[in-house]
């Protein structure tokens, strides 16, 4: 897959997608979002069986994604802005609902749309140089790619309001302390650490991880009874897979399971 604003690399079952507009600190424009939509759609449909983990990161060493491209947004009218927000929501929903884990490797600024992309990912790890935040109110707008709602679910209502109202950048240590990200790594070690995590996840049963992702994502906003029903159904469904047979057989025989995604 070749794109103008993304670099896409595959190593086995792991796909690394790098936002590649370093001169703009990887700012999101419509073209970049459409490319990401195309890439994720291809991975979900045509390369689903070959993809077990996706890593998102940014080129240039200074930014993951420093926000939306203001040079494009500044000319928007009401209809343009709504269409842009709809595009962003569509792409981030592809991340959140992908049948495989998506990991954000935050190697610099993750502001505005960049923070929103991180919030849509399953797991997020940051360099000790990272800065995160939602500065949209400084521009007279609000987060438009799901940031207000995913932020509430990540850090709670009061903390989300503090982040959105105040527009302050949050350093990596504080981001970890408030639950915005999982871990902080030295800048030069971030790539290798996240790759190691991705390799670990890729060795697990992919159908089981896919169901675990679906149940946790969908069940979060359901009643406890409805969420438990989702879990019961998924648990039973997995007993019809070759991976379940292989996993339990390997456990009993004390050997390492090799999962096929079937």
Using the Cα atoms of residue 42, residue 97, residue 5 and residue 7 in order, give the sign of their dihedral. negative
Active site residue 217: no
Query: How far apart, in whole angstroms, are the C-alpha atoms of residue 257 and residue 94?
Result: 30
- Tell me the C-alpha to C-alpha distance, in Å, between residue 140 and each of 5, 131, 143, 161, 172: 27, 21, 10, 16, 26
Residue 24, SS3?
Answer: helix
| Active-site position among 11, 86, 136, 189 | 136
Active site residue 116: yes
Nearest 5°: phi and psi at 256?
Answer: -90, 125
| Active-site position among 35, 37, 97, 116 | 116
* Burial (CB count <10 Å: 0-12, 13-18, 19+), residue 157: exposed
Residue with tokens 């077990």: 52
- Which H/E stretch holds residue 110? strand 109-111
Give the angle 222-208-34 at the CA atoms, nearest 5°: 75
Cite the active site residues. Answer: 116, 136
């Amino acid at each position: 897959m070749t794109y103008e604003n993304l670099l896409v690399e595959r190593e086995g079952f792991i796909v690394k997608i790098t936002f590649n507009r370093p001169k703009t600190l990887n700012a999101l424009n419509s073209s970049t979002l459409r490319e990401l939509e195309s890439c994720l759609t291809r991975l979900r449909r045509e390369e689903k069986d070959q993809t077990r983990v996706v890593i998102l990161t940014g080129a240039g060493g200074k930014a993951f994604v420093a926000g939306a491209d203001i040079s494009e947004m500044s000319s928007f009218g009401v209809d343009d802005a709504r269409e842009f927000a709809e595009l962003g929501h569509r792409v981030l929903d592809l991340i959140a609902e992908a049948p495989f884990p998506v990991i954000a490797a935050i190697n610099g600024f993750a502001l505005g749309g960049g923070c929103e992309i991180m919030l849509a990912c399953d797991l997020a790890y940051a360099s000790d140089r990272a800065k995160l935040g939602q500065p949209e109110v400084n521009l007279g707008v609000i987060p438009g790619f799901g940031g207000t709602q995913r932020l509430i679910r990540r850090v709670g209502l009061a903390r989300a309001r503090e982040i959105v109202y105040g527009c302050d950048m949050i350093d990596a240590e504080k981001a970890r302390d408030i639950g915005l990200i999982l871990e902080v790594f030295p800048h030069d070690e971030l790539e290798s650490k996240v790759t190691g995590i991705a390799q670990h996840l890729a060795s697990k049963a992919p159908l089981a991880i896919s169901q675990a992702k679906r149940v946790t994502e969908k069940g979060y906003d359901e009643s406890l009874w409805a969420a438990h029903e989702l879990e019961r159904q998924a648990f039973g469904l997995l007993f019809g897979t070759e991976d379940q047979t292989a996993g339990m057989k390997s456990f009993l025989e004390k050997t390492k399971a090799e999962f096929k995604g079937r």
